[in-house]
């Protein structure tokens, strides 16, 4: 089977067997990620840009060919923030249907959050202190999901309209951003966190997923190149992560582009992701009395794994 996750910044494919022969939840056969920036300009215009839509549908057609080559029998295609927000989402839906022969599911934020939690929780050890707060920072939205591994459903979940692309387009025009631009972006994030309704102070483990978080972790580990195996499961302190967030926010575009672990499609938006992640870390630390400070986890397993598991 195949899972496809189409967000604001990237589109990703996971082909896997369920359950894994080795006892793992998923036995990965093939994976791929393309930065297509589907959400380019959506925060400002409320519509999908035709050029961005063409990039995304071209990737979908390539994924269709790959699925045919691998003999995939079942596909679930999930679209999230940018498509939810777009007035012309019907153009996207019809384009995907033409490329893959199935209709994409434009899922609500609450389902996106639950899928993210399911993916991350599938590889979290049973001895990890709970409750666990999973944070999925996307291009247009960020999901906060609180729950316990093995529970039937999360305790609380919310999808907030803040993400690396949305914040960058809204506030971070400078190279690097000015102090005023950074402060405005942080104020947006802080306001949304205060009104989230998720009791994050109950969290005893904080887990970050998706590209902004994994890139920040790569920086904190001083990796010469992106290394998924090194990044996954890494536990870093609050201070280590905040230092890396600050360094990435303050770097110029050229400095970020020269970092060996940095995907080219994240160069211009990682500052926005770092602002979101640093504000969440500070917010959860304060609310939990520092309970999460000593070991904040990064997971390479996220909504894409949750979509795959929902098929199996």
- Please compute the mean of the pLDDT values over residues 47-71 and round it to a whole number: 95
C-alpha distances in Å from residue 288, one per residue of 45, 116, 205, 207, 285: 38, 22, 10, 14, 5
Using the predicted structure, report yes or no on whether residue 24 has a pLDDT greater than 80.
no
Q: How far apart are CA 262 and CA 254, in angstroms?
A: 11
Using the predicted structure, report yes or no on whether residue 83 has a pLDDT greater than 90.
no
- Please compute the mean of the pLDDT values over residues 79-105 and round it to a whole number: 89
Domain limits, CATH 3.30.420.150, in the chain = 125-302
- Distance between the two ends of the chain, CA-based, in angstroms? 8
* Percent with pLDDT over 90 in the chain: 71
Q: Which residues pair with 79 in a beta bridge?
A: 6, 106
User: Distance between alpha carbon 98 and the CA centroid of its chain, in Å?
Assistant: 26
Secondary structure letter of residue 101 according to DSSP: S
Highest mean pLDDT among 34-43, 152-161, 287-296: 287-296
* Residue pair 281/230 in contact by the 8 Å Cβ criterion: no
125-302 CATH choice from 2.60.120.10, 3.40.190.120, 3.30.420.150, 2.30.110.10: 3.30.420.150
The pLDDT score that the predictor gives to residue 23 is 44
302: confidence class by pLDDT, cuts 50, 70, 90 = confident
Among 83-92, 200-209, 260-269, 270-279, the range scoring the smallest mean pLDDT is 83-92
What 3-state class would DSSP assign to 283? helix
* Residue pair 3/10 in contact by the 8 Å Cβ criterion: no
Pick 152 or 205 by higher pLDDT.
Answer: 205
Q: How far apart are CA 165 and CA 49, in angstroms?
A: 14
Q: How far apart are CA 292 and CA 272, in angstroms?
A: 23
The CATH number of 2-107 is 3.30.420.40
* Residue pair 117/306 in contact by the 8 Å Cβ criterion: yes
Pick 76 or 111 by higher pLDDT.
Answer: 76
The pLDDT score that the predictor gives to residue 240 is 98
Domain limits, CATH 3.30.420.40, in the chain = 2-107
* Residue pair 208/299 in contact by the 8 Å Cβ criterion: yes
State the average pLDDT for the chain: 91
Helices H / strands E in the chain, number of each: 13, 11
The pLDDT score that the predictor gives to residue 199 is 97
* Percent with pLDDT over 70 in the chain: 97
Would you state the structure tokens that stand for residue 53, as one six-digit string? Answer: 């839509």
Q: How far apart are CA 246 and CA 294, in angstroms?
A: 19
Pick 290 or 84 by higher pLDDT.
Answer: 290
- Please compute the mean of the pLDDT values over residues 98-120 and round it to a whole number: 87
Highest mean pLDDT among 19-33, 73-87, 255-269: 255-269
Q: How far apart are CA 144 and CA 132, in angstroms?
A: 10
Q: How far apart are CA 104 and CA 95, in angstroms?
A: 10
The pLDDT score that the predictor gives to residue 20 is 47
The pLDDT score that the predictor gives to residue 121 is 82
The pLDDT score that the predictor gives to residue 19 is 58
123: confidence class by pLDDT, cuts 50, 70, 90 = confident
Using the predicted structure, report yes or no on whether residue 22 has a pLDDT greater than 50.
no
- Please compute the mean of the pLDDT values over residues 219-237 and round it to a whole number: 95
């Amino acid at each position: 089977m195949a899972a496809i996750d189409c967000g604001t910044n990237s589109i990703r494919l996971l082909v896997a067997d369920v359950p894994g022969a080795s006892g793992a939840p998923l036995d990965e056969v093939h994976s791929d990620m393309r930065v297509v920036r589907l959400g380019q300009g959506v925060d400002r215009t409320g519509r999908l840009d035709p050029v961005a839509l063409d990039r995304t549908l071209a990737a979908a057609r390539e994924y269709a060919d790959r699925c045919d080559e691998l003999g995939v029998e079942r596909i679930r295609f999930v679209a999230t923030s940018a498509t939810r927000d777009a007035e012309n989402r019907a153009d996207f839906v019809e384009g995907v249907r033409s490329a893959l022969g199935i209709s994409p599911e434009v899922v609500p934020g609450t389902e996106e959050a639950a899928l993210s939690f399911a993916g991350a929780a599938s590889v979290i050890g049973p001895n990890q202190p709970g409750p666990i707060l999973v944070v999925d920072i996307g291009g247009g939205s960020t999901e906060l999901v609180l729950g316990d591994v093995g529970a039937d459903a999360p305790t609380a979940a919310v999808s907030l309209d803040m993400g690396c692309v949305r914040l960058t387009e809204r506030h971070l025009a400078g190279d690097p951003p000015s102090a005023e631009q950074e402060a405005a972006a942080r104020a947006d994030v802080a306001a949304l966190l205060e009104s989230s309704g998720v009791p994050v102070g109950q969290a005893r483990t904080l887990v970050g997923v998706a590209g902004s978080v994994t890139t920040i972790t790569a920086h904190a580990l001083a990796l010469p190149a992106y290394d998924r195996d090194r990044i996954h499961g890494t536990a870093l302190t609050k201070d280590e992560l905040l230092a890396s967030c600050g360094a990435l926010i303050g770097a110029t575009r050229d400095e970020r582009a020269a970092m060996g672990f940095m995907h080219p499609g994240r160069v211009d938006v990682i500052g926005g992701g770092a602002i979101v992640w640093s504000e969440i870390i500070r917010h959860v630390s304060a609310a939990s009395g520092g309970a999460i400070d000593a070991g904040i986890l990064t997971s390479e397993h996220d909504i894409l794994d949750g979509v795959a598991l929902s098929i199996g």
